[in-house]
Amino acid sequence: MIYASPPPPPPNPLLPLYLKPDYAPVRTWKDYDKSAHSRLALLSSPGLKSSTDETGGHFGNGVGLLEKPQLQISSPPRLYRKRWLMLSLFSLYSFSNAFQWIHLNIIADVIGNYYNESLPHDVFQRNTAIDWLSMVYMLVYIPFIIPATWLLDKKGLRVCCILGSFLNAAGAWLKCASVSPDRFGLLMFAQTLCAISQLCILAIPPRLAAVWFGPGEVSTATSFGVFGNQLGVAAGFLIPPILVPNSDNLDSMSTDFNIMFYSTAGVTTIIFFSLIIFFQDKPPQPPSRAQKLAVEAAMNENYLQSLTHLLKNVGFLLLTLAYGINTGSYYAISTVLNAIFLHYFPGEGENAGRIGLTIVLMGVFGSILAGVWLDKTKTYKGTTVGIYLFTLAGTLAFTFTLNLNELWVVFVTAGVLGFFMTGYLPVGYEFAAELTFPESEGTSSGLLSASAQVFGIIYTVSMRAMMESISVLSANITICISLLIGGIITSKLVVRFVCLFVCFF
């Protein structure tokens, strides 16, 4: 085993096992499920006072991930009631941004009719341009995730939330100015600002949970952080088809768009000023000594070094790939849901929104239950594999029941799909933090989200091309095959094989 210089000191018998310099690293996901020496075990250690032993040496998992931070934690830990206010404010901001992600694509047929003058004439290019109203959220995330994560680590929660909320509100107001058939370009620019705003959202739930909540609440708080985002998507599916129905009267459609856009702008502005007034970066006293240590160590760490360590972590890379496949499939299905549903149920635009609502609401229940389950059991690997397999089953059921022309069946299968597919989101975040401890949760969750954006773009473009050139069924089957591959990657046999293969060579 290779240690960082200087050489490790003799073992200190007073230290817990997971802080001893000779503690062996966990190698497989199975070990993480059963290990008491993981991130959550450290965070729940009541007697932790410093990140170094009494001789001043280093500790880690064999590669010197944490240098000797000089942290003196003298104040007692304390939980504040206002932690729920912080979580609620963030969830409202996340809600409003997620609403703006999907509120245009769920009425893609209406967008196509209204902005006909400023859209390409070719059918595939036209539909793809509308798809980019959703995919721009995925595109901007990929190059900007590293600086956004750096900003979160160095400047904290308050700066990120206020900056992101400002961009969110600015994009919403620009949409009000885009209500004209010849202003699709302005609509896309406004949507791009909202997309940049989400950079300050997706990596925050695990960090906010670590900063404000106690050890037994971390997974649950992360789930509620994701909960706001999912509710926003649910509202984005449900409300726009009701406010902006398809019509041949452009004046009527302009009025409908104005109602939706001005309402959104008003809400996002209220949230922006609420964050300025009430949102705090961290509590006066930490929720636990160990969490104070972990958060401050993350803020003081070398970001590029942390990124390098994550990219060398085989288990994390496999999780990143599996997470990207699952969540990217969710993004793609959400983006083209209007086209999929109208293909089988023409003229049922409002029901398309209700199907999306069903997917997300069931996902909300799945997220909460998954968070509570993880807090109680810490079975990360088993929970991840189980959710993945049920996601595949739900997607298969949804795919092959659409042509039955029975709405109630589609609602049921869509609910099953949503319960497991979107319920996977907080599980992935928490599993990544567990696999990569003591690295920053913001860095690991940011890389997971980047993977999801890449797969989301690939799947959306591929599904649109297959829907136009082959069939809707073929596009859905492609997603099912991808989820099968993701399930195989997640399984313990493949993980063990890859780990052994890498260690051998």
pLDDT tens, residue by residue, 71-97 = 444 556 667 777 888 888 998 999 999
- Residue 136 binned pLDDT confidence (cut-offs 50, 70, 90): very high
Q: Average pLDDT for residues 111-119, to the nearest whole number?
A: 89
State how far the alpha carbon of 19 is from the alpha carbons of 3, 11, 50, in Å. Answer: 14, 9, 10
**pLDDT per position as a tens digit, 142-168:** 888 778 777 877 788 888 889 999 999
Q: Average pLDDT for residues 115-138, to the nearest whole number?
A: 88
pLDDT (0 to 100) of residue 5: 42
H/E stretch holding 205: helix 204-212
- Residue 404 binned pLDDT confidence (cut-offs 50, 70, 90): confident
pLDDT (0 to 100) of residue 441: 65
pLDDT (0 to 100) of residue 18: 32
pLDDT (0 to 100) of residue 273: 95
Query: For residues 82 and 43, what is the distance between their CA atoms, to the nearest angstrom?
Result: 21
Q: How many Cα atoms sit within 13 Å of 158 on the Cβ side?
A: 10
pLDDT (0 to 100) of residue 82: 77
- The answer to whether 76 and 69 have CB atoms below 8 angstroms apart is no
The domain segmentation of the chain, as residue ranges, is 84-504
Query: For residues 111 and 119, what is the distance between their CA atoms, to the nearest angstrom?
Result: 10
Residue at token pair 């001893």:
20
Q: Is the pLDDT of residue 61 over 70?
A: no
Query: For residues 296 and 28, what is the distance between their CA atoms, to the nearest angstrom?
Result: 28
Q: How many Cα atoms sit within 13 Å of 44 on the Cβ side?
A: 13
Give per-residue burial for 455-480: e unless 16+ CB within 10 Å, then b: bbbbbbbebbebbeeeebbebbbbbb
List CB contacts of 319: < 8 A, sequence separation 6 or more: 384, 428, 431, 432, 435, 448, 490
CATH number of 84-504: 1.20.1250.20
Q: Average pLDDT for residues 319-339, to the nearest whole number?
A: 86
Of 81 and 119, the structure prediction assigns the larger pLDDT to 119
pLDDT (0 to 100) of residue 323: 86
**pLDDT per position as a tens digit, 443-472:** 777 778 788 889 999 999 889 889 888 888
- The answer to whether 192 and 101 have CB atoms below 8 angstroms apart is no
Query: For residues 21 and 415, what is the distance between their CA atoms, to the nearest angstrom?
Result: 48
Q: Six-digit token pair at 242?
A: 């009701």
Q: Give the rounded percent of residues in the chain with a pLDDT score beyond 90.
A: 17
- Residue 430 binned pLDDT confidence (cut-offs 50, 70, 90): confident
pLDDT (0 to 100) of residue 75: 59
- Residue 2 binned pLDDT confidence (cut-offs 50, 70, 90): very low
Q: pTM here?
A: 0.71
CA angle 392, 393, 399 (to 5 degrees): 90
**pLDDT per position as a tens digit, 357-381:** 888 888 878 877 877 777 777 676 7
Of 239 and 348, the structure prediction assigns the larger pLDDT to 239
**pLDDT per position as a tens digit, 30-56:** 444 444 344 544 444 444 443 333 333
**pLDDT per position as a tens digit, 294-324:** 666 655 666 677 777 777 777 778 888 888 8
Of 440 and 32, the structure prediction assigns the larger pLDDT to 440
Q: Is the pLDDT of residue 328 over 80?
A: yes
Q: Is the pLDDT of residue 486 over 90?
A: no
Q: What is the DSSP letter of 23?
A: P
Q: Average pLDDT for residues 334-346, to the nearest whole number?
A: 86
Q: Is the pLDDT of residue 233 over 70?
A: yes
pLDDT (0 to 100) of residue 64: 39
> What secondary structure does DSSP assign to 119-175, as a single string?
S-SSHHHHHHHHHHHHHHHHHHHHHHHHHHHHHHHHH-HHHHHHHHHHHHHHHHHHH
Q: Six-digit token pair at 259?
A: 């109602």
Q: Is the pLDDT of residue 140 over 80?
A: yes
Q: Is the pLDDT of residue 218 over 80?
A: no
Q: Using CB atoms within 10 Å of the CB of residue 483, give its burial: 0 to 12 exposed, 13 to 18 middle, 19+ buried.
A: buried
Query: For residues 275 and 213, what is the distance between their CA atoms, to the nearest angstrom?
Result: 19
| Among the ranges given (20-24, 130-134, 454-458), the one the predictor scored with the smallest mean pLDDT | 20-24
For residue 220, give the 3-state DSSP assignment. Answer: helix
- Residue 346 binned pLDDT confidence (cut-offs 50, 70, 90): confident
Among candidate residues 98, 417, 100, 411, the one with its CA nearest the CA of residue 231: 98
46-60, 205-219, 425-439 — most confident range: 205-219
For residue 400, give the 3-state DSSP assignment. Answer: helix
Contacts of 400-405 with CB under 8 Å at 24 or more apart are 402/340, 402/341, 402/344, 402/472, 402/476, 403/344, 403/473, 405/344, 405/345
Query: For residues 104 and 110, what is the distance between their CA atoms, to the nearest angstrom?
Result: 9
List CB contacts of 284: < 8 A, sequence separation 6 or more: 78, 80
pLDDT (0 to 100) of residue 31: 42
- The answer to whether 133 and 200 have CB atoms below 8 angstroms apart is no
Among candidate residues 302, 335, 333, 307, the one with its CA nearest the CA of residue 320: 307
Q: How confident is the prediction for the chain on average, in pLDDT?
A: 76
pLDDT (0 to 100) of residue 189: 95
